[in-house]
Amino acid sequence: MKPILLYDTTLRDGAQGENISFSAEEMIKIAQKLDDIGIHYIEGGWPGSNPRDERFFELAKNIKFQNARLAAFGATRKIGIKPDDDHNLNALLESGAPAVTIFGKTWDLHVEQVMRNTLKENLEMIRDSVEYLKRNDREVIYDAEHFFDGYKKNPDYALQTLMAAVEGGADTIVLCDTNGGSLPFEIESIINDIRKSIVEKQTAKTDTLPLKIGIHTHNDCGMAVANSIAAIRAGAVMVQGTINGYGERCGNADLTSIIPILCIKMDCPCISSKNLAKLKKLSRFVSETANMIPLNARPFVGKSAFAHKGGIHVSAIMKVPGAYEHMDPEYVGNKRRVLISDLSGKSNVEYKARELGIELKGKGFDSRKIVSEVKRLEEQGYQFEAAEGSFKILMEKFTKQFKPLFELKSFRVHIEKEKDHPCSSHATIKISVGDKEEITAAEGHGPVGALDNALRKALEKFYVTDLDSMRLVDFKVRVIDGAKGTAAKVRVLIESRDEDDIWSTIGASEDIIEASWQALADSFQYKLAKERRKS
């Protein structure tokens, strides 16, 4: 198989996803991470369309990328003007990017009914736009927008648009499933057809180099990754996608799946094994920068990608990991996780004890007793599979190994509501560390935020740990038994993170503030213990 070129469009197509927005400075940071992992092309945006993307390319001029070529994105010239006079084409050149990606219309429906153009003029727009960019010494990647839809409706015209780009001198032709409605067998069949057609046309022209084909898919049918792989099997040598599959509507092809599939499953190492091991961190970095909660079930890099819950599964992987895993999670920088729940057996507990560094023997509890206790607590509303931070503390308490780094003496939360003003929350907290006590007060956005701020202030009196690096990123409340109305028990799950780690903690009570405190306190105990082990 030919080497596959990775083309990342997170900064442009990915940023078109709902609730995603990057500043120019954030775009630069992501581009540097993409370059570090070995991505071949980084699409930096559309410099002719907005000031942010223009600023990105200005900042990028001062950065020397080690592995990637920067690409600027834009459209073919406008109807009725020369390329030299087209503002967008000239903005692409002024960006300084060594590669330029332009898209043109392939589907006659778009040409005639959306653009209100003629089929002939559209071909000329494609041809002379590519020629203009090539005359200015740019590598040109031509994105054939709506190619597969266009080919299905009018294959002759769709092929003519590709030939226009080839005649203009395009280095790569990228076939786009823009609406995301195609299926893998269609993708493979169509690419085989067009490769044969174009190669036949090229053989008559001795001055034309063999054509490189790329693929750009969207995920509207949940097939973006499968369609990309099908295209590669059919001969595509460039694959476009985004980190985490971010993008418009249902998203783009997810490079965090495509890259390990190529490297591990298809024996096509598009990046080095060393860089492949950075994949999970890259996924997390992009989700953090985009302010998007990471998807636990994301293949390869998700938190749950190698998580095991059933006792039979865990018993098997303790002997032979491949019995229930399709690959070693460390290849992509992930790790195996064993979950604890009322479905757990003693194998789950023994595995977690080893993983967490907790000694079971001689501590008064064996694995069967711990399983029984976990099941009892889960009957009361706890859910430890989603709260490994709390489970670690629970195991330490069971085995008499828990050393609390602070203890609560009391807290008081006051919520005040004035007419025409939002609620304000104030918390006063009294804790002890050893034989010393501290009382602090703080405000916050809501009662839990106020408790969080007050506890931080108190702990800063005793510990030099940088608690500013720790923050709450998710807060979930679930009513366990709604039949009791306001007297129902609630479960609170808190997810916290710092620069290196993400952990979850849990609380359960008839009182939502008490349940929140339990989860919050466990989160700080976990953080402080982690920092103490590091030092």
pLDDT digits (tens, 9 = 90+) for 75-115: 999 999 999 999 999 999 999 999 999 999 999 998 999 98
**Same-domain pairing of 420 and 382:** no
Q: How confident is the model at residue 365, as a pLDDT?
A: 58
Specify the CATH number for the domain of residue 502.
3.30.160.270
Beta strands per DSSP E along 328-372: 337-338
- For residue 272, the one-letter residue type is S
**Same-domain pairing of 15 and 147:** yes
- For residue 85, the one-letter residue type is D
Whether 300 contacts 334, CB under 8 Å: yes
Query: What is the domain range of residue 195?
Result: 5-271
The verdict on residue 299 lying in a domain is: no
**Same-domain pairing of 334 and 213:** no
**Same-domain pairing of 481 and 436:** yes
**CA dihedral (49, 53, 57, 59) positive or negative:** positive
The verdict on residue 284 lying in a domain is: no
Strand order, beta sheet including 490-497: 471-479, 490-497, 502-509
**Same-domain pairing of 359 and 468:** no
The token pair at 420 is 């025409």
**Same-domain pairing of 125 and 246:** yes
Q: How confident is the model at residue 525, as a pLDDT?
A: 94
Choose the final residue of a domain: 398, 426, 446. 398
Q: How far is CA 409 from CA 397, 432, 433, 440, 455, in A?
A: 19, 7, 10, 12, 12
Q: How confident is the model at residue 206, as a pLDDT?
A: 44
Q: Among 127-136, 346-355, 463-472, name the one with the lowest average pLDDT.
A: 346-355
Euclidean distance between CA atoms 368 and 204, whole angstroms:
76
Tell which wins on pLDDT, 468 or 26: 26
Choose the final residue of a domain: 370, 398, 426. 398
> Which SS3 state, helix, strand or coil, does residue 272 take?
coil
Tell which wins on pLDDT, 191 or 376: 191
The reported pTM is 0.76
**Tell me: the pLDDT tens digits for 342-391?**
666 677 777 877 777 777 765 545 677 777 777 788 777 777 777 888 88
**Same-domain pairing of 458 and 339:** no
Cα(first)–Cα(last) distance of the chain, in Å? 49
Euclidean distance between CA atoms 328 and 331, whole angstroms:
6
Euclidean distance between CA atoms 124 and 78, whole angstroms:
11
Q: How confident is the model at residue 333, as a pLDDT?
A: 96
* 3-state DSSP helix/strand/coil % of the chain, to nearest 5: 45, 20, 35
**Same-domain pairing of 138 and 244:** yes
Euclidean distance between CA atoms 511 and 135, whole angstroms:
71
The verdict on residue 219 lying in a domain is: yes
The verdict on residue 380 lying in a domain is: yes
Euclidean distance between CA atoms 118 and 100, whole angstroms:
25
Q: How confident is the model at residue 345, as a pLDDT?
A: 67
**Tell me: the pLDDT tens digits for 471-506?**
888 888 888 765 556 667 888 999 998 877 889 999
**533: burial class by Cβ within 10 Å (0-12, 13-18, 19+)?**
exposed
Choose the final residue of a domain: 398, 427, 458. 398
Specify the CATH number for the domain of residue 267.
3.20.20.70
**Same-domain pairing of 262 and 161:** yes
**Same-domain pairing of 56 and 91:** yes
- For residue 401, the one-letter residue type is Q
**Tell me: the pLDDT tens digits for 195-221?**
877 766 665 554 444 578 999 999 999
The verdict on residue 276 lying in a domain is: no
The verdict on residue 289 lying in a domain is: no
Euclidean distance between CA atoms 285 and 106, whole angstroms:
36
**Same-domain pairing of 340 and 423:** no
Q: How far is CA 284 from CA 33, 251, 442, 480, in A?
A: 11, 17, 31, 31
**Same-domain pairing of 351 and 477:** no
Whether 490 contacts 480, CB under 8 Å: yes
Into how many domains does the chain fold?
3
